[in-house]
Amino acid sequence: MIRAMVVIALHTAPARDIPAQGSGEWWDKEWRTGFVKQPQRGPQWLGYQGFRGDEVADTRYHGGVDKAVCVYASEHYPYWAESGAMPEGSLGGFGENLSTQGLIEDGVCIGDVYSLGEALVQVSQPRQPCWKIARRWHVKDLTARVERSGKTGYYFRVLRHGHVQAGERLELLERPNPRWTVALSNAIMHRGEGGPDAARELAECRELSGSWKDGLWLRVS
């Protein structure tokens, strides 16, 4: 089966320092981040470490070949706007490179291979939301809320480099692991669904990122 999906916005940004504003609020501290991304028009070069000109501040937990491209479904933004977590229409607000349509977590599987412009990409793992989401939107429990909701987004690794731009369609070429949706993977990792057996089976998925395999094996060893 071949399905077509669309990139409706593409975002990149260099890492930068955000100064404290002196408000005394819990979120008001100096921090360095590549989270605050800007929409890009026209073709953008996608290499094996991510988009040219895009940076992460903390390379221990972000970036690398298994997390080269961060993807987030545009369908989730109305939910977060209605919950008061962020302004409506804030595509890119979760720090994603690609804001997509038609690629939500329960319809995307670990190992899925897509053509995108000149590039070839593969789903490697769900996104693990971090504290920067909460600090960016000044909502203290937002990271936990994103994790509980399952509306996390996910990452692509790059199998073939090339130019990519907003408005392009993604074509699903391969689905080696139809069982392991991003939604189910989140449920196993964050809510313990299926117990140790499910964690062990997911950890044995060849296309899953190394960091997620390590995290799952830690639970069952």
Strands 113-116, 98-101: pairing kind: unpaired
Residue extents of the structural domains in the chain: 4-177
CB 121 within 8 A of CB 61: no
What is the residue type of 128? Q
Per residue in 131-189, pLDDT (tens digit) is 999 999 999 999 999 999 999 999 999 999 999 999 999 999 999 999 999 999 999 99
Give the C-alpha separation, 59 to 55, whole Å.
9
CB 154 within 8 A of CB 71: yes
Count the Cβ atoms, other than its own, within 10 Å of residue 151. Answer: 22
160: tokens are: 């073939």
Per residue in 91-111, pLDDT (tens digit) is 999 999 999 999 999 999 999
Give the C-alpha separation, 199 to 56, whole Å.
29
Read off the pTM.
0.95
Select the CATH number that applies to the domain covering 4-177 from these four: 2.40.33.20, 3.40.50.620, 3.40.50.720, 1.10.510.10.
Answer: 2.40.33.20
Write out the H or E segment, with its range, that includes residue 39: strand 38-39
